[in-house]
Amino acid sequence: MDLEIEKAIGGHYVVWRFNRPRVLNALTDEMILDLGDAVADFASDPRMRAAILTGTGRSFSVGADLKSMSERNALTDDIEPRISGNDPDGSGPAAAPADPRMPYSLGVEAVPKFPFGNCPKPVIAAVNGLCIAGGMEMAIDCDIRIATPDARFGLFEAKRGIMAGVAVQHLARVLPVNEAMHLLLTCDTMNADRAHQLGFLQQVTPAGTLMDRAVEIAEMISANAPLAVQGSKAMVQFWRHFGATEARRLQQYVSDKVLASRDAREGPLAFAEKRPPNWVGA
């Protein structure tokens, strides 16, 4: 499975593991939807009090599968005339996606928001290597972050002609504003030591002990009163998300403009074809 789920009933925690190591745990729509279902199950299971998110191999996740994104863009180009009622063969509107969890979308990004911020229980990110784009955004959305010394963090969306999602709203709430701007605008990377220095990571631990330490933290949380833990998270999240509704409205407007651009199609296509992108600024 691309997303492995293991519940440790005795320890009151669950482990979610991205399992596409051959493509550095690049995220598909289905993986994100499955993770959303797993989070919902975790939130409703009274035996579970903490969760750990990690990856298989040398990567936590490098974000969206851009090859799949490019293919989806090509499919969109093919079906868009039928959506507008101008299908030359008269076959009518395109069918909705097979997965009922996926709302129909013509946009480049057709996946829901990451679910951890709205989860009442704590989620720990155990970052085992590359943590890029959507992978870093998932880490941002977690409550506690630890990593191995070789972890690297980055937001490369602007290199692909698109915008980051969660990061444009929340990165500046977990990093100094100018540090957040540096990552978003330059697409540079941040190493584990720098991330720890800035408070993005709570601990850097050797690769061989990463999961042991993550489990230790999960068990420390699980040993405390569940309602007190959840209440504490709720209050912190209220502060973190203060003003987020208004910000999301603006983000939706700006993002729609960016995602409708020719550059937003060129970025993933150039990546899939292994060539430099040809930006036109439109």
Percent of the chain with pLDDT over 90: 56
Does residue 177 or residue 268 have the better pLDDT?
177
Residue range 236-281, pLDDT digits in tens: 888 777 666 666 677 777 778 888 888 888 888 888 888 999 998 8
Q: Where are the beta strands (DSSP E) in 92-169?
A: 123-127, 130-132, 144-147, 152-154
Inform me whether the pLDDT recorded for 87 exceeds 70. no
Does residue 129 or residue 68 have the better pLDDT?
129
What 3-state class would DSSP assign to 253?
A: helix
Among 90-99, 122-131, 167-176, 254-263, top mean pLDDT goes to 122-131
Query: Which H helix or E strand runs over 204?
Result: strand 203-204
CA 215 to each of CA 54, 212, 222: distance values in angstroms, whole numbers, following the listed order: 12, 5, 10
What is the model's pLDDT at position 107?
A: 32
Catalytic residue among 4, 6, 157, 219: 157
- How many other C-beta atoms can be found within 10 angstroms of the C-beta atom of residue 238? 9
Prediction pTM value: 0.77
Spatial distance between the Cα atoms of 87 and 79, rounded to a whole number of angstroms:
8
Triad 140, 146, 152: Cα angle to 5°? 70
> What domains can be seen in the chain, in order of their start residue?
3-65+110-272 (3.90.226.10)
Kindly report the average pLDDT of the chain as a whole number: 83
Catalytic residue among 6, 30, 80, 137: 137
Structure tokens at 197: 């220095």
Does residue 268 or residue 13 have the better pLDDT?
13
Residue range 191-231, pLDDT digits in tens: 999 999 999 999 999 999 999 999 999 999 999 999 999 99
Q: Are 116 and 138 in contact (CB under 8 A)?
A: yes
Residue 137 is among the residues annotated as catalytic for this protein: yes
Mention every residue, 6+ apart, whose C-beta is less than 8 A from residue 53. Answer: 16, 17, 116, 123, 124, 125, 126, 138, 139, 142
Residue 179 is among the residues annotated as catalytic for this protein: no
